[in-house]
Amino acid sequence: MNMRTQQFFLIVVFAAGMMIGMTACSAPAPEPVTEIPPTAAASPLPPTPEPATPLPPTETPQPENTPEPSPTPYAGAGRLVFDSTRDGTGYREVFIMEIGTEAVQLTGGENNNFAGPCAPTGDKILYTSFGLTTSDIWVMNPDGTLPLNLTNSEDVDDSFPAWSPDSSHILFTSRMDGNNEIYLMSMLTSEVTRLTDDPRDDFGAAWSPDGSLIAFVSDRDSDQLGIYDLYVMNADGSGVTRLTDDDAIDYHPTWSPDGSQIAFRSHHDGPADIYVINVDGTGLYNLTESEANEWAPSWSPDGSLIAFQTDRDGNWEIYAIQPDGTGLVNLTNNPADDQSPFWCPQP
């Protein structure tokens, strides 16, 4: 199993009551009657209770249970696909969730299944399934039906799938030629074309919204293996340009919908944070600035939110934040590990 590929993949009630008892007050016994006529003595009437004095109103104690969480302010903002351990089997499985509602499990079985992106048309989902020795790229419907193995490799790892803007092709990373390289596959013919060719690792590609550029991760120019930077190339693999140049590990690029910026994960200042940079390499800023680890950003289709995974709550959760660093919200809030979010347009 390729360890670098696995690195990324590897996200009260009691009730109180009170009983009020009221004791009836007895009237005094009647005085003896004098000069009773020669008739049968009348039986005394039963005592009549005095009107009870009303007790002041008593406030009913409220249950001391934990209040229900308020709906996320981003409810209705869209759908997310992610992978999670919440089904309790010990395997990672793919889920889909409308923001503010319960997540629905899409995959199962005895493999670890890692979420991938939705097609821009919203009608298909890519994911990576890890077997005992290798991994493959699969595609399925948004309801989990019709899963199909696209790569079907017997002895290599295929991972990091990405859609073209028109959903006609996918990018993926494979070791079919000995090291991690980026390949293009036609969804119509299954024809595969190699786009990168370097002795070092190239992987984690993402298409620009207009389809002209591809961002990816590589250590091809680093003095040390495994110190990755961001690169951009033309859609045919030509014109490779280095976007970041630092001693950090830069990972997982995702494009803004207007194509002007790229969000990514980096270890610039200790634990991994989410950063944003302009496509020309200027304007770098730390979006999350947390002491926690934060990975796998995904930009929403309307550009208003960036989803990402974080361990700031002690487990992996999926949060969303606005591109200016405000409006941070936990979207999943589940004791399981939820990871690798991808926005999914409505079909």
Q: So where are the chain's domains?
A: 75-344
Distance CA 194, CA 192 (A): 7
What's the pLDDT score for residue 71?
Answer: 59
Average pLDDT, stretch 211-224?
96
User: Of 256, 255, 287, whose CA–CA distance to 272 is shortest?
Assistant: 287
Q: Which tens digit of pLDDT belongs to each residue from 58-79?
A: 443 443 443 344 457 898 889 9
- Please report, rounded to a whole number, the percentage of residues in the chain having pLDDT higher than 70: 80
Report whether 80 contacts 99 (CB < 8 A). yes
Distance CA 233, CA 184 (A): 13
Distance CA 139, CA 118 (A): 9
Average pLDDT, stretch 4-27?
34
CATH 2.120.10.30 assigned to domain 75-344? The reply is yes
Q: pLDDT at residue 323 above 90?
A: yes
